[in-house]
Structure 1
Amino acid sequence: MSTLRTLLFTGGLLLTAQAAQAREINVPVPMEYGLIRSVLVNQLYTGAGETARVWKDGKQCSFLDLSQPQIGGEDGLVKIENHVQAKIGTALGNKCMTIVEWSGILQTFQQPTLDSTGNVLSFPVTRTQAYDGNGQALNIDQLLSLIKKAAEPKLASLKIDLNRARPDIAKSLLPFISAEHSEDWHDAVNSLRFNQAKADAKGLLLGVGYTANDRKSDGIKSSPVLTETELAQWRQLWQNWQGSVEQAIERTKLTAADESAKATMREVLEKAGSAFEQGLTGEYVAENDPVRKFFNSSWDKLAPLLRLASTQLPGGENLRYVTLVAATDLMYELESIGSPLGLEVSSNGLRKLARSLIAQEFPKTKTKGKRKHQQ
């Protein structure tokens, strides 16, 4: 579950890092169920049709499959609903004789639970219910026992362990933190603790506490315009990202009211691409900065739709793009308190972010070259 752990805190702490000027920090980290589901499917339900075989006998005559999980919240619990296909049989020579075969729905209700240290969040199953396609409750003792023995432990195995997650969190966010704050960032990650975990209809709300040093920034450092090589790399990243988001938009299940927002999203993405390239290749004073102008007019509308679309991407991809959206949110929110982590909503800030992303995607590529200038 390392991807899920990183996802939770990379997104959450980027969005709340503005608290780094205080000493004792408590921040809410929301996590939508759709995003959690996409990661779980990517890691657990790896069979055809989003299937997980949670039990089988040694003779291949019996099995228990879960598939197509849906995650939601109900009465303060996480509810996971699975399609179930089960068969219990016995071997007769080279053949299997079926004794019991059943298909239906399994619902597990799981309580977000913190350990005494605040380091581990788990989801023990508190109750289950299973019923067939006609809504009739499962009453076959053998299958009820098998679900309790095999399915419940599998679904309850989800844990978010801060002790194991800290290296991933620190590594994921460090490229977005200024050098003068890198030591403070590692100290903050080492002090992370859960202090609350609640489930509601929309998702999990985690309370995370950490300690941060009250260090003043020395100001924003200038970042030069991109070289021709860097610009080509950025264009490749942007085109790949925009293409993935376009595909995700088509897969996203939106309400009738939200459907009209698809065209708006495409239009704003086109404006973003144009504004970003101007900002990466030219120097501008504040009132004429194309990146600042774009965010002032469009980001509040675009960011929620991008997050929704990102939940439709495979687990590894949605981690990358949600992190990018969250990092941009960070710059947008932090500027009002003086950019304490050395980030800013401007062409200069975008160039820093672009170089961090390029370094991650093209780690062995030299970036020397003629600089592009555009006024």
Structure 2
Amino acid sequence: MVDRRLLVDLALLGHSGVMVMGHCRGPGAVSSRLHLELKPAIDAQGMAVVFRADGAELRRPDGSPGLLSRPSRILAESLVIPRLERTTIDVSGVLAAIDDLINEFKPGAGSAEMLLGQRVRLRQVTAQAEGLRTELAIRVRPPPTVAEVPEPALGAEELAEWQRVEDELDGFLTVLIARLASQVDNRDLQLDFLALLLETRQRIAEALLVDDPSEDPVRALFLEAWGGLKPLLTRLEPMDVADDRDLRLAGFIAAGDALAALDALGPEFGLEISRDGLRRLARLLLAGDAPLSFTPLPLVEDPALRRLFGLDPDGPTVGPTIGPAMPALQWWQRLLPLAHANPVSLAESLRGVVASPATLDEYLDLVARLLDAVYTEHMDNGSRIPADYRELFRPLVRATAWRESCWRHYIGPADEPRVIRSSVGAVGMMQIMGRVWRGVYDVQRLEAEIEYNIAAGIEILEHYLVDYAIRRGEHQHPGGIDNLVRATYAAYNGGPRHLSRHRRDDTPASLRAIDESFWNEFVQIREEGWPPVARCFSVAE
């Protein structure tokens, strides 16, 4: 491609002669070079790019102009140029495959008048530096005028089906992103894939709380996820692969782009995300490796997924000195001062305990000791935090637990304790969203075991500190090393895309208030070793 012209330079070797006793006899081979420009155009049906040769010129083998023998000209004009002009790029097969996919996402779209093959035509093809560029023209019918009426609330079965499809989307993205991330050696690209997975899971968790029949969150989630996935997929395209994965990747990108483009056309092509449609889309990329179903969602640890996050595939380490050592205490025993209760492990001493004014000092002391014990065990088992930043981590763990839950794992009456849970489903002392971190952690253990919840929170904090805040140089901005603390908590609180919110001008006031409160609590814990108790409990500090 030169100056947006598709130039072709071919070496020709021609033989001429006559048949003599069964053999071709002549002066021998004649070498030459054929120079021409292939001009792309659209065929009469509008379904293929064709080429027309222009400015054909025969030259000597060294490229210099000169008179060449008549046989060379005949070969070029009768054989070579016609073959070049028979080259086509036909999109009808691709459109047929996309029609099949659309029919899965938009039931009823397979009727003759809806087929892309009947409604799409190529137009205006041009040569670009990176290749050929063409446009697709699509005929779209205006939607019928329908009087707007309020949509009825979703019934129980409809809501359950809606959530099943959201689960299917979650499973689809998990399988897809984990597979792609596992096939690349570029750690930055891996982390970008994993960040997209966490962000999309968080959006799905939030969407599950919305019961608005006038909106289709699954469709919006799919399109939003595709908007984040597409740039990452294009970074995979230049990679060398040993099989046909590059072709499947190109087909997958084309299909996703087509779905997004068709949805943008309006109600006629509005998408309905279905389980079968997601499976068909997955098969474009994963071929025979695509699962038969993406649900039910696994809720236990997945060693392969943990390994992708740079975590111990066997799960967080919670030793016997922290975990259960004796049977759980009865609720009435927990009404006694904790200092006089039977000696049990730190975690067991807090199992089912609701903080109360009568035992608040003992309670907070036990929590502080448990946080330190789990922290120490984590650091002793091979932390990835560089030595220069380790002094930040202990107060960061304590401050995060305080900001998220006021060091509480249980709330409610003392005789009916329940695990603290946020409106979006974050649970326990470290307020971890099982929906977001499933596969990385055991969802049931996040609720049932305080020590496991803390260990998981510490791993997540280290992940955001090392793989995001430090890797992306947050400490190189004004604010220095303190930025690492602010950025790590912001990502912990809101997801990877919130990493730099503490220093952005467009951060909403509500998030700024959260970050400022966290920072003040972190500073106090770093300097005094103790949180601002009065913020959570009505007692004097």
CA–CA separation in structure 2 for the residues paired with 1:89 and 1:125? 25
TM-score, length-scaled by structure 2: 0.38
Secondary structure at 1:325 match in 2: helix
CA contact (8 A) 2:100 2:110 kept: yes
What is the aligned partner in structure 2 of residue 372 from structure 1?
298
The residue number in structure 2 matching 1:260 is: none
Q: Tell me the amino acid that sits aligned with residue 74 of structure 2.
A: S
Query: Is the 1:331–1:339 Cα contact (8 Å) retained in structure 2?
Result: no
Match of 2:167 among 212, 225, 236: 225
Question: Per-residue deviation at 1:212?
Answer: 1.9
Match of 1:86 in 2: 13
Q: CA deviation at 1:153?
A: 0.7
> Of the two structures, which has the highest relative contact order with CA contacts closer than 8 Å and spacing of 6 or more?
1
Q: Which residue of 2 aligns with 1:325?
A: 253
Counterparts of 1:103 and 1:123 in 2: how far apart (Å)? 26
User: Does the C-alpha gap of structure 1 residues 278 and 210 become closer, same or farther in structure 2, counting only changes over 3 Å?
Assistant: closer
Name the TM-score, length of structure 1 as normaliser.
0.51
Structure 1 residue 194: Cα displacement: 3.5
Cα distance in 2 between the residues matched to 1:336 and 1:168: 20
Q: Following superposition, which runs of at least 4 residues in structure 1 exceed 6 angstroms of deviation?
A: 91-98, 230-233, 287-296, 312-316, 331-340, 349-353
Q: Which amino acid aligns with 2:192?
A: K
CA distance, structure 2, for counterparts of residue 200 and residue 99 of structure 1: 43
CA separation of 1:227 and 1:329: change in aligned 2, threshold 3 A: closer
Which residue of 1 is the match for residue 235 of structure 2? Answer: 305
Distance 1:329 1:194 in 2: 16
Per-residue CA deviations over 1:313-372 (Å, capped at 9, x if unaligned) read 79965442123224444667788888974559xxxx797764223455349975497532
Residue equivalent to 2:29: 101
2 CA distance for matches of 1:111 and 1:339? Answer: 38
Aligned pairs (5 A) from 1:271-282: 271-273=192-194, 275-276=196-197
Identity over the aligned pairs, expressed in percent? 14
Matched, 1:357 2:281: yes
2:82 aligned residue: 153
Cα deviation 1:102-123 (Å, max 9, x = unaligned): 5564332123334555455421
The equivalences for 1:131-210 within 5 A come to 131-132=59-60, 134-137=62-65, 139-141=67-69, 142-160=71-89, 165-166=91-92, 168-176=94-102, 177-179=105-107, 181-183=109-111, 186-210=114-138
Q: 1:88 deviation in Å?
A: 1.3
Distance 1:104 1:280, change over 3 A: farther
Q: Distance in 2 between matches of 1:95 and 1:273?
A: 68
What CA distance in whole angstroms lies between the structure 1 residues aligned with 2:31 and 2:198? 54
In structure 1, what is the equivalent of residue 189 of structure 2? 268
Task: Call closer, same or farther: CA 1:108–1:351 in 2, change over 3 Å.
Answer: farther
Cα-to-partner distance string for 1:171-195 (whole Å, 9 max, x where unaligned): 2343244225444883443022344
Cα RMSD after superposing both structures: 5.4
Which amino acid is the alignment partner of residue 205 of structure 2? Y
Distance 1:167 1:295, change over 3 A: closer
| Cα displacement string for residues 29-58 of structure 1 (whole angstroms, at most 9, x for unaligned residues) | xxxxxxxxxxxxxxxxxxxxxxxxxxxxxx
Letter matched to residue 72 of structure 2:
L
Gaps of 5+ in 2: 145-150, 155-160, 210-216, 300-433, 436-541
Partner of 1:50: none
Letter in structure 1 aligned against 2:15: I
CA contact (8 A) 1:123 1:158 kept: yes
Displacement of 1:267 after TM fit? 1.6
Q: Please give the alpha-carbon distance, in whole angstroms, between the structure 2 residues aligned to 1:350 and 1:278.
A: 21
Show CA shifts across 1:2-38 (max 9, x none): xxxxxxxxxxxxxxxxxxxxxxxxxxxxxxxxxxxxx
Instruction: Name the SS of the counterpart of 2:73 in structure 1.
Output: helix
Q: Which moved more, 1:142-151 or 1:128-137?
A: 128-137
Tell me how far 1:156 sits from its aligned partner. 0.4
Query: In 2, distance between residues paired with 1:353 and 1:277?
Result: 22
Quote the offset at 1:158 in angstroms: 1.7
Change (3 A) 1:112 1:178: same
- CA 1:314–1:135 in 2, change beyond 3 Å: closer, same or farther? farther
Q: Deviations along 1:230-267, whole A, 9 cap, x unmatched? A: 779946x9647974x77xxxxxxxxxxxxxxxx5xx52
2:298 match: secondary structure: coil
Count of residue pairs brought into register by the alignment: 271
Query: What secondary structure sits across from 1:127 in the alignment?
Result: strand
